[in-house]
Chain A
Amino acid sequence: MSQNLLPSIPMKSTAFDSDTVLTEFLTDYLDGNLSTAERESFEEYLSKNKDERNFMRKALKGKKALTRLAKHINNKPSVTA
């Protein structure tokens, strides 16, 4: 994991910072790309790990907020088109 490439931010560190497999799982989970078995297994992991569960919740909500912003930007007519 290229951790040295990550900028320092004042957020609580989680296992996602150091475990590439978990990062892959989280990414696929947020994108809705996990199989049922994988999703259940990941959710079981989250249920037992509070910090990671909290991080996932924030990432999910952040993603939804950005999707809303994207919708807003893409719905605006471009003056240069």
Chain B
Amino acid sequence: MQAVSRAELQKMSDEDLMEKFQSGYEQAFNLLVDRYQDRLHNFLYRYTHNHQDCEDLVQETFFRVFRSRDSYERIAKFSTWMYTIAINLAKSLYKKKKRMTKVTIHKDPDDSEDRPMKLEDTDILPDDSLHEKMCIDELEKALMKLSEDFREVVVLRDIQQLSYEEIAEIADLPMGTVKSRINRGRAQLQELLENYYQPETISA
């Protein structure tokens, strides 16, 4: 593994840091924590209105990022991926509080809201699923061709099924821009898919 200085790491994008972390640089993870812990706390406070809950959720979010580092794919921005984990944890905590039960949020593996986002499918599927797998592959390729600005919002809306308000918060954009980008992202994705399936021109 080639050595990378802290100064070099500090210049890297979040996504590059995440890749470094995936390849074994724990210092890259520490830098991501430095970059995001305050922002994440402020973000979560709007959901919880409780600083102690925020502290716990921030800690748990980074724990999930640490533990699930191999499931992160650059299909999504790092911040989008991390905020999605945080939102799911906050929702999960809210549900648990509503049920008035005292359980720690990381001890409920059966809770579907508690599972980290998984964007990559590397599993081998049975033969009868081959066609579906091919379609999904085309879809994923098309999604990766969208500009990051469009991809971020359509992933949050149509894959993660977040509300427009949540997306505006995460992407730090006005609601109108969020909606406009989602519609454009969807239309552009469809255009890409239609281009995939257009028959090739055969020249004589």
Q: Which residues of A contact B (CB under 8 A)?
A: 1-2, 5-7, 9, 11, 16-17, 20, 23-24, 26-27, 30, 55, 58-63, 65-70, 72-73, 76, 78-81
Contacts and interface: CB of A to CB of B under 8 A. Distances in A.
A72 B129 CA distance: 11
Given A11-B184, A66-B158, A78-B115, 13 more contacts: A2-B177, A6-B149, A7-B149, A23-B179, A27-B183, A59-B186, A60-B186, A61-B186, A63-B158, A65-B139, A70-B159, A73-B119, A80-B116
B187 A55 contact: yes
B123 interface: yes
A70 B173 CA distance: 24
Interface residues of B, number: 47
Given A9-B188, A67-B158, A79-B71, A27 B182 contact: yes
Nearest to A28: B179
Contact of B184 (A1, A9, A30, A79): A9
Interface of B: 67-68, 70-71, 109, 114-116, 118-119, 121, 123, 132, 135-136, 139-140, 142-143, 147, 149-150, 154, 158-161, 164, 173-174, 176-177, 179-191, 193-194
Given A55-B187, A65-B139, A81 B193 contact: no
Contact of B139 (A11, A69, A80): A69
Contact of A2 (B67, B139, B174, B184): B174
Contacts, number: 124
Scoring B67, B140, B186 by chain A CB atoms within 10 A of each residue's CB, the highest score goes to B186
Closest 5 CB pairs of A and B: A62-B186, A66-B158, A62-B190, A58-B187, A81-B115
A59 B187 contact: yes
Contacts of B186: 30, 58-63, 66
B149 A76 contact: no
